[in-house]
Amino acid sequence: MYVIFGASGKVGRATATALRNAGRPVRAVVRQAKQGEALARIGCEIVSADLTAPTTVASAIKGATAVQILCPVPVGDSDPAATMQRMIDVAADALRANPPPAVLALSDYGAELDQGTGLTRLFHLLEERLKPLPTHLTLLRSAEHAQNWAAMLPVMLATGRLPSLHSPLDRAFATVSTQDVGALAAELLLASSPAKSPRIVSVEGPRRVSLIDVARAFSTVVGREVTADAVPREAWAPMLQRAGLSENHVQLLTELYDAVNAGQIDVEKGVSEQRFGKTELTEAFTAMLVAHVKSR
């Protein structure tokens, strides 16, 4: 049984779908049963669990051949770091008490760094808590998800501008589509157990892009000019607070993008296997736009 936490999310859904297409049994772990309806239609067993609740997490991993675990960022939380730390502790304790043969953790570029990376430091903590497990551990570190730009769609469509914390406009950075991350996760779960544990794999898209490239891709998709807009650093906090993020969440993002813009967040060279997805930005953005229009 392949247990996929966060199975209703973009990465988890892609992993679960790929595993079912390969004929493997999948237990899709979701927060609410309704989120699993589409997964049930492709033959997944649906289990509800709260990642901060030890009993539900422990129950979800019973009998697992492999577990895909994650630590989602709780949007709207007044203290997301504390909540993520709780998720990490609950997951690590459950997996230590009942270790499956294999665990794959969804992590981030820069997770090898132990300070100065804001949100990414939580993925460092996740990795460190999982490394002592008596199991075959794979750490799948992904670049910034292309689907994160969906949050900017309303502003972009209304104003023709694409605001971002990336700076400068022409600095290249790594990004990847969530469907490519999920597909690779399934491939790694289906592979024979790694000789070395943990196995660290990094994944990004077919090429690195700048904020100008991102705006150009959106221009192609929406059929109008979209201008890249690197938000001045002094305006980051007010913009994020207007978006409804707590002060603690804003601080985590500020630290993260300071590190990103300084070039500190990247592949851990000499340690990580490097993989590349195939999904182009225009393909990912087209799907995002269709979903946005349907939701209105």
Span 53-82, pLDDT tens digits: 999 999 999 999 999 999 999 988 999 999
Distance CA 67, CA 102 (A): 6
In b/e form, how buried is each residue of 277-294, taking b as 16+ CB within 10 angstroms? bebbbeebbebbbeeeee
* pLDDT (0 to 100) of residue 100: 96
Q: Is the pLDDT of residue 195 over 80?
A: no
Residues facing residue 210 across a β-bridge: none
Task: Provide the residue type at 186 as one letter.
Answer: A
* pLDDT (0 to 100) of residue 267: 95
At 8, list the tokens.
Answer: 């209703």
Span 277-293, pLDDT tens digits: 999 999 999 999 998 88
Sign of CA dihedral 75, 55, 129, 196: negative
* pLDDT (0 to 100) of residue 287: 94
> Sheet harboring 26-30: ordered strands across?
45-48, 26-30, 2-5, 66-69, 102-108, 136-142, 199-204, 273-276
Which residue segments constitute the domains of the chain, with CATH numbers given?
2-295 (3.40.50.720)
Span 142-170, pLDDT tens digits: 999 999 999 999 999 999 999 999 999 99
> Looking at residues 20-43, what average pLDDT do you find?
96
Distance CA 153, CA 149 (A): 7
Question: For the chain, what percent of residues have pLDDT higher than 70?
Answer: 99
At 191, list the tokens.
Answer: 């592979």
Cite the DSSP H helix spans in 22-79. Answer: 37-41, 54-60
Task: Provide the residue type at 253 as one letter.
Answer: L
CA angle at residue 279 from 277 to 285, to 5 degrees?
140
* pLDDT (0 to 100) of residue 144: 97
* pLDDT (0 to 100) of residue 269: 87
Categorize the per-residue pLDDT at 294 as very low, low, confident or very high, splitting at 50, 70 and 90. Answer: confident
CA angle at residue 249 from 244 to 250, to 5 degrees?
75
* pLDDT (0 to 100) of residue 292: 85
Query: What residues contact 278, with CB distance under 8 A and at least 6 apart?
Result: 180, 206
* pLDDT (0 to 100) of residue 271: 87
Sign of CA dihedral 204, 18, 186, 118: positive
Span 81-117, pLDDT tens digits: 999 999 999 999 999 999 999 999 999 999 999 999 9
- Report the first-to-last Cα separation within the chain, whole angstroms: 38
Categorize the per-residue pLDDT at 46 as very low, low, confident or very high, splitting at 50, 70 and 90. Answer: very high
Q: Is the pLDDT of residue 41 over 90?
A: yes
pTM for this predicted structure: 0.96
Contact 91, 135 (CB under 8 A): no
| Rg, C-alpha atoms of the chain | 19
